[in-house]
Structure 1
Amino acid sequence: TTYISLAGRYLVLMPNNPDAGGISRRIEGEDRAELRDKLANLTMTQGAGVIIRTAGVGRTVEELQWDLDYLDTAWQAIRKAALSGVAPFLIYQESNVIVRAIRDHLRQDIGEVLVDSEEVFDKVKDLIQQVMPSFGNKVKLYQDETPMFNRFQIEGQIESAFQREVRLPSGGAIVIDPTEALVSIDINSARATKGGDIEETALHTNLEAADEIARQLRLRDMGGLVVIDFIDMSANKNQKAVENRLKDALKPDRARVQIGRISRFGLLEMSRQRLRPSLGETSGVVCPRCHGQGSIRDVQSLALQILRLLEDEAVKERTGEVRVQVPVPVGTFLLNEKRQQLESIQRRHKVRVLVIPNPNMETPNYDLQRLRDDDPQVASLELSIDIQTATPDPEPELVRARQAEVREKALVTDIKPKTPAPESAPEPTPVEAKTDDSIGRKKRPESARRRQPKPESKSLVNRVLGFLFGEPEAPASSSRQETNNRRRPQKKAERNDRKERPESDPTQRPETNRGPQQQETERSADGSQGGRRRRRRRNKNRSETPESVETTTPTTVTTPEVSPEREAELKAHEENLSPRPKRAQRKQRGEEAIASQEAKLENHATTSGETTIDDAPVLNEGMIADADKPKRARRGRRGSRKTNETV
């Protein structure tokens, strides 16, 4: 309690706790990183900590600094007042409900604020003018004769917060039962018939219940563990839709909320931060009749219990008399239906039993009293009528006269900021997701579809008008289709031209199309270096337009003098870059290389006098010789098999 915290509109100042501070846990993603940078730019007093609230998202550094300065002014006034008096006395008190409501709930998406009291209206106007002057035109004075709560049906909403069962628009209902360990919420479809089948009806009822549960939790201010029993749904997508709806409905809640998943039994567990005592605890009392249980025993059960207790007391030693005061219905039942049992107890234990009906008692209350044999009341044989009249009437517990509490006034009140509030930027309005009855995939936009919509067919009148006055301008899609149709015959003609061209000799290939390795050394006449596609395009244009080539004036290019060593290097480099020969030429070169190698070996054998050794493996008897083996056909480039020609 020694760590003081002062709450503002955008910040919470902790003046004597430097270790605390940061950003609200409910802020995530890019907003959190942006606020961290803004927090570093704030100037605060030494030894203080600051927490940025969710309302600070989207605020500028000037607005945050103004709110921090206002809270710092309040803290300096509190310190000054603490040193001026003798303890104990009240220094500062949290703002009243009007200030808290304006500070925490007034946002950009709220249209207007109605106040039905002139005194409160003036206070609200002054507060808004100091803190947020841009919202001054939203506060209005309500002057109608009809009470404001009745006109806007707020009384019905207040009554629903005290009821155990809350009705849903579709006809279903939710039942809220607070217990000692948790808050249980049950959803009943009741008369809900919206939907084509049971699954759809359960889905719509659960979606409505999710919105109403989030609202009731805020109204009743319930905290702790909450268990919700949704109507069973078989489809996983429907369960996911209900979970998402509940999460979206709980986003405006200021309390910290943790939500689980729907289990296989249809239960969803969640926890809500307990900010303050709930509405039932602050505005309700325990029932004096059932003592908070919610149900009582009936007359017969209560009478049998009292009869057993009478005998238990009569069995004890030195018991002279047993008196029991009971409600009138219970006494009537005992004296008439259980008279023989009462006489049996008196006869066996020799004890006097008195059953006194008391009209001031209600079931299940009773008063049992045991008197010893030496008690003077037993010796005097007091009458039961006198005993009943001596009983005082109990005071009702529900109606209690509350004395007016005299509250001490705080020394620090009406703190005004030093500087006027800066012009606030427009707050980001939350975009509500459109709730559609159909749950499933989102509709794809027209531009993302593969199939374009079919062009609309022209009517007879449009055709006649087009024939007389000309065709109207076609849309972009039709013009694109026409250009494609124009290009198709051109491409077809180009393909036919390539097929009709004679095959050129590979050795006669132009130097400008020698392959990717020559891109590094080849340059155009103007000195620019181009790629393979560019050269192909250039050669194609030259071949297609010979007239333009003939008409161009020849340009003389002066080549610098090259040394003989450099000339030899370039020549060797060009030989390496020569085009790869075809398959027949490669085969011929290979055969020539093999023949030359064999000739060298024979010359070496004749000059050295050594005999050649046949290293071929000896084939086993019965196996096929190499010459007799069938030769496999060789696969060509096109996939066809070529037969081996025998020489």
Structure 2
Amino acid sequence: MKRILINATQAEELRVAMVNGQRLYDLDIEIPSREQKKSNIYKGKITRIEPSLEAAFVNYGAERHGFLPFKEISKIYFKENARDDNGKLNIKDAIKVDQEIVVQIEKEERGNKGAALTSFISLAGRFLVAMPQNPRAGGVSRRIEGEDRDSVKKVMSEVNMPEGMGVIVRTAGVGRSSEEMQWDLDYLSQVWTAVEKAAAAKKAPFLIYQESNIVIRALRDHYRSDVGEIIIDSPEAYQQAHDFMSMVMPNSLNKLKKFNDKLPLFNRFQIENQIESAFSREVTLPSGGAIVIDHTEALTSIDINSARATKGSDIEDTAKLTNLEAADEIARQLRIRDLGGLIVIDFIDMMQNKNQREVESRLRSAVYDDRARVQIGRISRFGLLEMSRQRLRPSLGESSQIVCPRCSGQGTIRDIESLSLAVLRLLEEESLKDSTGKILAKIPVECATYLLNEKRDKIDGIEQRHNVKVVVIPDPGLETPHYLIERVKEGDTHRHESNYKKSYELTTEDESIDPVELSSRQSTPSEVPAVQHVELPGLKPPSATKKQASKEPGIVRKLISAILGSSESPQENLVEESSGQNRGNRNTSRNRRGRYRGNANRNR
């Protein structure tokens, strides 16, 4: 049975897991102090126009200004007679600095890049996505095919469409009546009306409309008719889900259940270890092989190792079986970790083309249910397969991990001898500069031990050749590969702190020279949106057009039940069904003078 499990017992981290039986197939984690901004609507102000980039930068209230490409600017914001004599449209002629504009975040901030913005607003509902400023856009989701596509088009022909609005039918809209579609569209139209009113009432920049929280998003985006249960372990989150489902999908309320057990929810369904594996670099395959996932600035690389896999009859067969297992696991890990962008997979070499085609086909099948857009290439003669995946939200690593403060994300550091010799060379380099009176080297204890013993004669030679004083300070507050070299001029030596402090008092314990920001995502107070709640007075959600008939248990099940008793799963006794529903249905540097010397890849 498919279930949606919502763990909200820890206020600092809300988790939503989609499971099939006890196998995790999708995961969403939200940290309230770093709420996602994607799909939020803001009123912003254009601060800079860059014709060379064909884009504008918009201040929408964040620390970094957003990036707004020219193609993402609606014509309603263009100046009159913006086209030149040849009929061409230039961004500088179309818009102006300090112009106010309503924008929506299309991509979250990443690293040093600001958020990507668009002025073509889209509002996601249960069955539809409305695009108020884009009447020519719209249609039916690419995932809806065949007869379902034709029936959806027929239903939408009966829906009264607002003027100037485009609509896309989501996969959840399959099998819905025109009344249900109309209700969803009317609600989204009302939201857009509220957004327009709020935008006109206040000067930029400010937040107009905020995307729903993780609980509502999970129900809206992940709930399908094949989901048997929605189990929540927090009273507050349960109430949010109950209110939302009562309004949007009242006929599914019997699937909403409150978890009551001393054992944590995720442990009960044995998925906690699966979540922890998503933070690991290496994931083991059932046959004994493994996939290794590494991240770089340009792409994500995935390597497949056969390791202890010996299932096949020969090398080719073993490689094929391991690659097929890897294809399934890669598709699952992409969803759980929400990896986006360019992904390169290094499959185990296979000599036969038919085996390569089979692996490609398995990967395409495995990503079929992925909500993100996925493009898959073919296995090259080097055994590499390129694919790309749409970034739906910040990846698991970006939202829950920080750059290692020791290696700055590189993964390796220099050894003691290599780093010590590098420091020794820098001491010589600093001593060659004019008017150098003293050089202070604050270095890790291990490096200082090496220099003061194995390389003492080299330090003495630097002092004698250049007539400078070298002070080596073993600093317990520093770890390889971090160090600080400070050059003091001859005229400043009598004023420098090293002149009246002992060398052991010059350590960096109380100085803030941490070379890496421990977290690039600082918590900021949540902004209150201008539009918080939209109601449709007098309009109630229509009941579902089709009710699933309760399945009569087969004769084998009846016999088993008669002999062994009820066949209900043990989890069902640990949850409370939603009140008011049919309870009978159980199936439903700091560098003062000189330079801060350390790792060149340091993030600040």
If the length of structure 2 is used for normalisation, what is the TM-score? Answer: 0.66
Given that 1:356 and 1:388 are in contact with CA atoms closer than 8 Å, whether structure 2 keeps it comes out as: no
d(CA) in 2 for partners of 1:54, 1:420: 19
Q: CA deviation at 1:22?
A: 2.2
1:419 aligns with 2:535: no
Within the candidate set 326, 335, 343, 2:443 is matched to 326
Q: Which amino acid aligns with 2:161?
A: M
**In the alignment, which residue of structure 2 is the partner of 1:6?**
123
Given that 1:227 and 1:267 are in contact with CA atoms closer than 8 Å, whether structure 2 keeps it comes out as: yes
d(CA) in 1 for partners of 2:439, 2:302: 46
Q: Which amino acid aligns with 1:201?
A: T
Q: Can you list the C-alpha shifts for 1:463-494, whole angstroms capped at 9, x where unaligned? A: xxxxxxxxxxxxxxxxxxxxxxxxxxxxxxxx
Given that 1:177 and 1:184 are in contact with CA atoms closer than 8 Å, whether structure 2 keeps it comes out as: yes
Partner SS state of residue 16, structure 1: coil
Within the candidate set 327, 350, 361, 2:478 is matched to 361
Gaps of 5+ in 1: 428-647
Q: Can you list the C-alpha shifts for 1:515-536, whole angstroms capped at 9, x where unaligned? A: xxxxxxxxxxxxxxxxxxxxxx
Relative to 1, partners in 2 of residues 1:236 and 1:256: Cα closer, same or farther, differing over 3 Å? same
Percentage of matched positions with identical amino acids: 58
* Of 302-311 and 10-19, the range deviating more from structure 2: 10-19
Q: CA deviation at 1:93?
A: 1.9
**In the alignment, which residue of structure 1 is the partner of 2:461?**
344
Relative to 1, partners in 2 of residues 1:95 and 1:378: Cα closer, same or farther, differing over 3 Å? closer
**In the alignment, which residue of structure 1 is the partner of 2:528?**
408
**In the alignment, which residue of structure 2 is the partner of 1:211?**
328
d(CA) in 2 for partners of 1:127, 1:285: 34
d(CA) in 1 for partners of 2:370, 2:497: 69
Q: CA deviation at 1:404?
A: 7.3
1:178 aligns with 2:298: no
**In the alignment, which residue of structure 2 is the partner of 1:244?**
361
Q: CA deviation at 1:62?
A: 3.4
Q: CA deviation at 1:230?
A: 0.9
Given that 1:358 and 1:388 are in contact with CA atoms closer than 8 Å, whether structure 2 keeps it comes out as: no
d(CA) in 1 for partners of 2:288, 2:519: 36
Relative to 1, partners in 2 of residues 1:367 and 1:80: Cα closer, same or farther, differing over 3 Å? closer
Relative to 1, partners in 2 of residues 1:379 and 1:214: Cα closer, same or farther, differing over 3 Å? closer
Q: Which amino acid aligns with 2:535?
A: I
d(CA) in 2 for partners of 1:381, 1:20: 70
**In the alignment, which residue of structure 1 is the partner of 2:340?**
223
Q: Which amino acid aligns with 2:533?
A: T
Q: Which has the larger radius of gyration?
A: 1
Relative to 1, partners in 2 of residues 1:89 and 1:401: Cα closer, same or farther, differing over 3 Å? closer
Tell me how many residue pairs correspond in the alignment. Answer: 427
Relative to 1, partners in 2 of residues 1:86 and 1:299: Cα closer, same or farther, differing over 3 Å? closer
Q: CA deviation at 1:80?
A: 4.7
Q: CA deviation at 1:414?
A: 5.4
Gaps of 5+ in 2: 1-102, 104-118, 549-604
- Greater relative contact order structure (CA < 8 Å, 6+ sep): 2
Q: Which amino acid aligns with 1:322?
A: I
**In the alignment, which residue of structure 2 is the partner of 1:295?**
412
d(CA) in 1 for partners of 2:464, 2:495: 17
Q: CA deviation at 1:169?
A: 1.8
Given that 1:320 and 1:378 are in contact with CA atoms closer than 8 Å, whether structure 2 keeps it comes out as: no
1:50-65 superposed matches below 5 A: 50-65=167-182
Relative to 1, partners in 2 of residues 1:84 and 1:367: Cα closer, same or farther, differing over 3 Å? closer
Partner SS state of residue 203, structure 1: helix
Q: CA deviation at 1:19?
A: 2.8
Q: Which amino acid aligns with 1:266?
A: G
**In the alignment, which residue of structure 2 is the partner of 1:492?**
none
d(CA) in 2 for partners of 1:283, 1:303: 34
Within the candidate set 159, 163, 166, 1:46 is matched to 163
Given that 1:10 and 1:64 are in contact with CA atoms closer than 8 Å, whether structure 2 keeps it comes out as: yes
Given that 2:477 and 2:508 are in contact with CA atoms closer than 8 Å, whether structure 1 keeps it comes out as: no
d(CA) in 2 for partners of 1:86, 1:367: 48
Q: Can you list the C-alpha shifts for 1:397-421, whole angstroms capped at 9, x where unaligned? A: 6499977725425443153571332
Partner SS state of residue 213, structure 1: helix
1:264 aligns with 2:381: yes
Q: CA deviation at 1:352?
A: 1.4
Q: Which amino acid aligns with 2:488?
A: L
Q: CA deviation at 1:153?
A: 1.9
Q: Which amino acid aligns with 1:130?
A: M
Relative to 1, partners in 2 of residues 1:309 and 1:406: Cα closer, same or farther, differing over 3 Å? same
1:470-549 superposed matches below 5 A: none
Q: Which amino acid aligns with 1:278?
A: S
Partner SS state of residue 187, structure 1: strand
Q: Can you list the C-alpha shifts for 1:128-157, whole angstroms capped at 9, x where unaligned? A: 232223322211111111111111122212
d(CA) in 1 for partners of 2:380, 2:503: 63
Partner SS state of residue 112, structure 1: strand
Given that 2:194 and 2:534 are in contact with CA atoms closer than 8 Å, whether structure 1 keeps it comes out as: no
Given that 1:170 and 1:194 are in contact with CA atoms closer than 8 Å, whether structure 2 keeps it comes out as: yes
1:335 aligns with 2:452: yes
